[in-house]
Amino acid sequence: MMGNPLWLIARRSFAEGWVRLAATLLAALGSIALIAGSLQFALRAQEAVAGGDASEYFRADVLVQGGTVDPDNVYAPPDGRIRLDRLASRPGVAAAAGDAAVAVTASRPDGQAIMAAAEGRTLLRPWVPDPQLNPYQLEAGRAPSGDGEVAVVRHLARAGELSVGGTMTLTLPHRTQQVRISGIVNVQGRGAVAAGDLVLASPETVQRAAMLPAGTWQSVWLKAAPGVPAERLRGELARELAQEPGGVTVRTAESVRRVQLATASGEGTTIAGIVGMLASVAIFVGLFVVANTFGTLVRQRTRRLALLGAIGATPRQIGRLIRLEALVLGAIAAVGGVAAGFPVSELIIRLFARDGFDVSGSDPQTGWIALTLPAVAGILVTQGAAWQAAYRAAGVSPVQALRSTVAEPRERRLPRLLFGGAILAGAVAWYAVAAAIRAAEPPGPDRTFVIALMVLFGSLMAVTGLAVLTPFFVKPLGGLVGRVGRLVGGETGRLAHATVTRSPRRVSSAASSLMLGVALVASVALVTISVHDRFREAGRQVMAAEHAITSTARTAEGAPAPIARDVAAKLAGAPGVSRAAVLTQTEVTLVPPVPDGSPQERPEPFRFLVSGAEQSGLRDVLRLGGRPPALGTGEIALSSAVMKGQGLRRGQEIVVRGVHGRTTLTVAGTYHDPSHLFADQALVAAETMDRLDANAPTRAVLVRGGSTEALTRAVAGVPGVRVLGRDAYVDAASQSQTRALRSTYVFVGMALLLALFGMATTVSMSVAERTREFGLLGAVGATTRQIRAIIRWEAATVVVLGTLLGLAIAMGTLGLLHVMSGSSFLRPDPPWWLFPLVLTGAAVATLVTSALPARRAAAVPVLEAAKAE
């Protein structure tokens, strides 16, 4: 290997041109670091969501749950009740313990909410005193012994910086309570369980919070007596309790643990897949940037490559030389990029944690997937990027070794046109898939997400196709800029026009990087502005209340966390308040009617959110489209989308399954919530909500009248709540709807930095390859100011070309999203100030990246220029 002539030539190229190679190396390292950081974040998110194999049921053998359970949601509470004393004394039972779960919000003493583990919730559960069933291992302190004492899992303690003996605030469905921490526990060595974080209190405290009658529980854990198999005990109990009023569900704890593990694993895979799709933008940008820098690197060495051909090197050997250099660069960049991926992932984790998705409790991943896959991907990216450069290098004619300056050879237009057209045809194919999905699937968030993904892939291919065709746009735009330059700068403008039109590929390399950056920024900006403007417009249309009382904490989706229902009572005496309406929400499942005759296939369950509000004076705080009637107990109003999608009609009786079991409701009317924030799918009276879920979380208290100062004073004694105006509340409530959009900010921002670095590298290298040219201009009388002006006029061509193409892609992407999805939230109606702002940003970025190369070009000595390659 060491005696191979190609290796010796490559080694000399590295030794003599390490400065030029360093720029390409940094571009490759940045792209690999982004790939490695994205993968590290995806793996840590998967581990955090999955929660490992920790389960609170690992000591139990059988679970007896009151009523029925949702077979598709292992974490949903059972809809019935079961008495503990009916099971504790049965034959074959060694131990029994009651269990219930109440969703709460935990806050630190300073009022700051503590986020649960990724995609999880914080649940209040009873401490299990029987050691045969207790899954909680104390790490510090002791078990809670009375009202006002709790033990917490390790993740909650670390996230909230809590310690034994300290205090924290719990926001329960109906009240807020300050509690003292008596102990910190783990479950099977883990800091949390698959469902999220646990706050453990005395059984009596949890019974009161869950509004359970004395002696009854949502479920009962059982330990089988020695010699009694769990499956046998389950079967015996199922037969004995078959006639229990309200019914019971009997399952082995092992089967529940398997479902938990499968559910958590599926959620983790979904999160990893979404992050992987976002990271694909980074891979694309990395390939794009490295391809540009490699192409510029080959152009710089045209004469040397031509000399190699003149002394007998075959085109195949020259191509292998370029690929060998790319392999060495890729290997070095892979090592550095994988190492840099760890701090990149920490940055991504911190940014996501601020938005409610906290995976900081997971450990850094050091398995072969986390380390090997980014390295292999980086090498493949550099090899893929070097393919075109190697092909071009192999076609360098030996005659070019005799030229005094580096000039681009004339290339055939047809192959470039065909190649660019084929890529654009591929983009059209992705758009056609999006159109087919729109025609085949019903409207909804899932359809919109898939369509957006198809349009994204199509737009990435469109960027690539336009990058291939960019040299064809350089001459006409260069001519336009040149004419302006001649009018403004005279002879300097003419020289700038000549340099631009003589080397279109060099200009197009920098312009394509700028085009990619403008397309990324403008696309995200256009979508963000459109979505936020539509939410604000619709929110003002629906929300008649001037203020909303909401939580300072956020859910995992980014929306405000629930608050205690008793907050509304504190507003009754506030000056100027004419109406305070509690807005609650719960999820129910529509129970399909059982047809007579032969059994049919079980239909897909339809789950939907039901909002509850006091009907008296509802129109004082909410203006829903369609003006639904005042609802009585047992009545429900459905959105027009739900009515149409489920084939329901006014006056029809439906059965829904909620937390308290099955409830029959009458469809009293239809309406429309254009904001999708207050009562997106269904609306019931407060009394009906108590029948569905007495502990339904309170999303907000909507207030008509009063001032911000008066309302703030009224709730001053309630920790973790805030008073928001109409627009502020709409912005906060829409966070859960725009979470997917916000997730792109981190990756697009990093990809933008990589694209700008690629543009700066390309501009710098293109100036370096013309060292001889600029030196000779100085020799014949060109001043330093004139040489800098030539570089600036060339940069102006880059700005015009890159900005126009980037904005065209961004507007086309938003227009396609609007047409394909049919969503009013994706409207191609940008504000007038966006275009000059993007143009100014592109100009500033280009001028900043070209300032140093221009100064270096103007300072080239004549003798150094004469020696330049």
DSSP output for 201-267: E-HHHHHHHTTPPTTEESEEEEEEPTT--HHHHHHHHHHHTTT-TT-EEEEEHHHHHHHHHHHHHHH
Residue 376's pLDDT is 86
pLDDT of residue 399: 60
Residues 313-320 have a mean pLDDT of: 75
Question: Is the pLDDT confidence value at 666 over 90?
Answer: yes
B/e letters for 128-164, b = 16+ CB within 10 Å, e = fewer, are: beeeebbbbeeeebebbeeeebbbbbbbbbebbebeb
The stretch 367-383 carries a mean pLDDT of 81
Of the pLDDT bands very low, low, confident and very high (cuts 50, 70, 90), residue 2 is: very low
pLDDT score of 1 more than 50: no
Give residue 167's pLDDT.
93
Residue 418 has pLDDT above 50, yes or no: yes
* pLDDT higher than 80, residue 48: no
Distance CA 354, CA 359 (A): 11
How much of the chain exceeds pLDDT 70, in percent? 81
> Which pLDDT band holds residue 404 (cuts at 50, 70, 90)?
very low
Which helix or strand (DSSP H or E) is residue 124 part of? Answer: strand 121-126
Find out whether 697 and 585 touch, Cβ atoms under 8 Å. yes
Task: Say if residues 658 and 588 touch (Cβ distance below 8 Å).
Answer: yes
Query: What per-residue confidence (pLDDT) applies to 574?
Result: 86
Q: How far apart are CA 118 and CA 557, in angstroms?
A: 10
pLDDT of residue 140: 93
Q: Give the model confidence (pLDDT) of 717-745 as tens digits.
A: 888 889 999 999 999 888 877 776 776 77
Give the pLDDT confidence score for residue 356 in this predicted structure: 63
Q: Tell me how far apart the alpha carbons of residues 864 and 772 are, in angstroms, rounded to a whole number.
A: 8
pLDDT bracket for residue 802 (50, 70, 90): confident
CA dihedral 530, 533, 537, 539 (to 10 degrees): 100
CB 567 within 8 A of CB 717: no
Looking at residue 758, its pLDDT comes to 73
As a whole number of Å, the CA-based R_g of the chain is 33
The SS3 assignment for 822 reads coil
Torsion of CA 792, 798, 800, 801, to 10 degrees: 160
Predicted pLDDT at 355: 65
Q: By mean pLDDT, which of 283-287, 324-328, 571-575 is the weakest?
A: 283-287
- Using CA atoms, how far apart are residues 641 and 652, in angstroms rounded to an integer? 16
**What was the pLDDT predicted at 204?**
92
pLDDT at site 612: 94
Given a contact cutoff of 8 angstroms between Cβ atoms, the answer to whether 133 and 60 are in contact is yes
Give me the half-sphere count of Cα atoms (radius 13 Å) on the Cβ side of residue 337: 33
Q: Are 55 and 187 in contact (CB under 8 A)?
A: yes
Q: How confident is the model at residue 664 (pLDDT cuts 50, 70, 90)?
A: very high
Separation CA 199–CA 125 (nearest Å) = 6
Q: At residue 681, does pLDDT exceed 90?
A: yes
pLDDT of residue 854: 67
> Over the stretch 552-590, which tens digit does the pLDDT of each residue have?
877 766 778 889 888 888 887 788 888 899 999 999 989
DSSP state of 96: E
With a cut of 90, say whether residue 471 has pLDDT above it.
Answer: no
Q: Is the pLDDT of residue 611 over 60?
A: yes
HSE-CB at 214 with a 13 A cutoff on CA atoms is 0
pLDDT mean over 27-48: 80
Give the pair of three-digit tokens for residue 79. 């809809």
Are 212 and 601 in contact by the 8 Å Cβ rule? The answer is no
Indicate whether 482 pLDDT > 90. no
User: DSSP string covering 566-620, please?
Assistant: THHHHTTTSTTEEEEEEEEEEEEEEE----SSS--PPPPPEEEEEEE--STTGGG
Q: What is the mean pLDDT of residues 613-628?
A: 89
Average pLDDT over residues 140-150: 91
Query: CB burial class (10 A; 0-12, 13-18, 19+) of residue 867?
Result: exposed
Q: Which of 47-61, 238-252, 627-641 has the highest mean pLDDT?
A: 627-641
Angle between helices 445-489 and 784-821 (to 10 degrees): 150
- CA 496/CA 313 separation, integer angstroms: 36
> What per-residue confidence (pLDDT) applies to 751?
73
Burial (0-12, 13-18, 19+ Cβ within 10 Å), 94: middle
pTM for the whole thing? 0.77
Counting runs of H as helices and runs of E as strands, what totals does the chain give? 24, 22
What is the C-alpha separation between 448 and 438, in angstroms, rounded?
8
Q: Which residues contact 636 (CB under 8 A, 6 or more apart)?
A: 610, 654, 665, 666, 667, 668, 682, 683, 684, 688
The pLDDT value given to residue 9: 61
The SS3 assignment for 441 reads coil
State how far the Cα of 6 lies from the Cα of 316, in Å rounded to an integer: 11
pLDDT at 409 over 60: no
Average pLDDT value for the chain: 81
Cα distances (angstroms) measured from residue 511 to each of 292, 409, 796 = 10, 20, 10
Total residues found in the chain within this entry: 869
Residues 184-208 have a mean pLDDT of 89
Q: How confident is residue 859, by pLDDT bands cut at 50, 70 and 90?
A: low
Burial class (CB in 10 A: 0-12, 13-18, 19+), 834: middle
Confidence of residue 861 (pLDDT cuts 50, 70, 90): low
Residue 30's nearest CA partner among 275, 374, 414, 421 is: 374
Instruction: Supply the pLDDT for residue 18.
Output: 59
Task: Give pLDDT, residue 769.
Answer: 65
Under 8 Å between Cβ of 78 and 212:
no
> Is the pLDDT confidence value at 406 over 70?
no
Q: What is the mean pLDDT of residues 98-127?
A: 85
Closest C-alpha to 550, from 563, 538, 566, 531: 563
pLDDT band at 3 (very low <50, low <70, confident <90, very high): very low
The per-residue pLDDT for range 625-661, each reduced to its tens digit, is 888 888 999 999 999 889 988 889 999 999 998 888 8
| pLDDT at residue 598, rounded to an integer | 46
Sort strands 682-684 and 606-612 into parallel, antiparallel or unpaired.
parallel
**SS3 assignment, position 478:** helix
The helix/strand/coil state of 837 is: helix
Identify which has the larger pLDDT, 787 or 241: 241
Which helix (H) or strand (E) covers residue 419, if one does?
A: helix 413-440
Report the pLDDT averaged over residues 240-264: 82
Lowest model confidence (mean pLDDT) among 160-164, 530-534, 596-600, 836-840:
596-600
